[in-house]
């Protein structure tokens, strides 16, 4: 039997350090401030030399100039070229190289390899022009070889480390995306499992309900309740058909969610259930994208269902309005004067599902009592 190879102390220390860093999150704003401070602290080491050089700066003014240069790193995430341009200015004026190292690193990290190569070539070319114009201090580089051995490694190393960090960021982002994809696949599998169970068990009960209603309709033939039993049978069969369409045939294009045109059908169904529905639809709503119209339909459908359950017989007012770039869906009804004799069957997830649908499209949803009524107000962007 062979012993497992043991990690070296260096590898163990490296792994422990990575684990310690991964276990702690640094606030992004704190890091945004920390990097310019580190750069400024390093540039402060050059203040005595800058004050002695022939550049009309003393210690105080040199410190202020370097502080302003380091402050440009606050823009490094969104505008990494700004610190780069500031670094070129300090390079030409004060021959300051510290900020250039940070700037090249940030370009490599936030803009990738091509931008880093371009920035490095620009930096080396600019410095070479300064050398040819004899505006480079001789104490830093007297000959071209000394000049190149100073300038080129600084630029290549800073940009190369930035590109490596950029690749690490891409790898981490890919890992996060893979994790999200795996989670979504697991959720989808669970939903499919639940859908199959709902189809098998609920579909069976709906079929039995329809058959039982037909039997009662036959027995009540000629009586006043025959029509009610016929409607109950039709409702059960319709519910079973809708269940099949949602679960079994959802992927088919001809089973797409209705849009604004389907609201009239919802209103008529609500009225047949005993809740009068008043529709107030902006004429421009018909030009909305199918995605927005489907959202409107689902929100109104859920609101009307809740109104029939919890406030039977109360008038429901539906208002669809467009205000510039915003689409608003308002559904309100009077509160019932008395508690229903039987508690309505409800899973309690309808409003939550509505909120998720609206929020996924960049909108907001509010639901609750308002001036003696129950109001649902959804606001979302009117664009695609």
Alpha helix segments (H runs only) across the chain: 9-22, 28-44, 47-52, 59-71, 81-94, 98-132, 144-197, 203-219, 226-247, 263-272, 290-310, 350-360
* Residue 278 · residue 317 · CB < 8 Å: yes
pLDDT at res. 280: 93
Q: Model-level pTM?
A: 0.47
pLDDT at res. 3: 45
**pLDDT: is 141 or 9 the higher one?**
141
Is pLDDT of 383 > 80?
Answer: no
Task: With cut-offs at 50, 70 and 90, classify the pLDDT of residue 357.
Answer: confident
pLDDT at res. 136: 73
Please give the average per-residue pLDDT across 294-318, as a whole number.
86
> pLDDT for 169-203, tens place per residue?
888 888 877 877 777 777 767 766 676 666 666 76
pLDDT at res. 245: 65
Is pLDDT of 292 > 70?
Answer: yes
In DSSP notation, 259-284 reads -GGGHHHHHHHHHHTT--EEEEE-GG
pLDDT at res. 72: 92
Relative to beta strand 326-334, strand 373-381 is antiparallel
With respect to CATH, is domain 257-384 assigned 3.90.230.10? no
Task: With cut-offs at 50, 70 and 90, classify the pLDDT of residue 158.
Answer: very high
Domain boundaries, the chain: 24-182, 257-384
pLDDT at res. 27: 60
Chain mean pLDDT for the chain: 79
Is pLDDT of 29 > 80?
Answer: no
């Amino acid at each position: 039997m062979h012993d497992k190879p043991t990690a070296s102390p260096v590898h163990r220390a490296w792994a422990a350090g990575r684990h310690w860093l991964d276990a702690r999150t640094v606030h992004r704003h704190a890091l945004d401030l920390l990097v310019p401070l580190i750069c400024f602290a390093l540039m402060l080491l050059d203040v005595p030399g800058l004050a002695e050089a022939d550049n009309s700066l003393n210690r105080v003014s040199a410190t202020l100039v370097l502080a302003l240069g380091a402050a440009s790193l606050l823009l490094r995430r969104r505008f990494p070229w700004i610190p780069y341009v500031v670094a070129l200015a300090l390079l030409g004026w004060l021959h300051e190289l510290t900020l250039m190292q940070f700037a090249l690193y940030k370009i490599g990290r936030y803009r990738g390899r091509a931008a880093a190569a371009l920035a490095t070539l620009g930096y080396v070319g600019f410095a070479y022009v300064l050398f040819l114009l004899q505006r480079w201090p001789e104490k830093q580089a007297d000959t071209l070889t000394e000049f190149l051995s100073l300038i080129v490694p600084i630029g290549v190393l800073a940009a190369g480390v930035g590109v490596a960090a950029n690749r690490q960021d891409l790898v981490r982002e890919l890992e996060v995306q893979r994790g999200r994809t795996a989670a979504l696949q697991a959720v989808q599998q669970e939903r499919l499992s639940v859908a199959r169970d709902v189809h098998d068990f609920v579909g069976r009960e709906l079929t039995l309900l329809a058959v039982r209603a037909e039997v009662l309709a036959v027995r009540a033939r000629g009586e006043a309740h025959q029509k009610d039993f016929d409607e109950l049978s039709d409702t059960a069969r319709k519910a079973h058909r809708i269940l099949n369409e949602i679960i079994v045939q959802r992927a088919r294009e001809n089973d797409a969610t209705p849009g604004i045109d389907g609201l009239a059908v919802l209103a008529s169904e609500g009225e047949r259930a005993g809740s009068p529905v008043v529709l107030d639809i902006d004429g421009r709503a018909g030009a909305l994208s199918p995605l927005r119209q489907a959202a409107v339909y689902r929100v109104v459908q859920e609101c009307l269902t809740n109104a029939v359950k919890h406030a039977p017989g109360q008038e429901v007012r539906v208002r669809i309005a467009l205000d510039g770039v915003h689409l608003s869906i308002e559904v309100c009804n009077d509160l019932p004067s008395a508690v229903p004799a039987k508690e309505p069957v409800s899973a309690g997830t309808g409003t939550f599902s509505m909120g998720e649908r609206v929020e996924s499209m960049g909108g907001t949803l509010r639901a609750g009592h308002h001036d003696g009524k129950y109001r649902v107000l959804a606001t979302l962007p009117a664009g695609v």
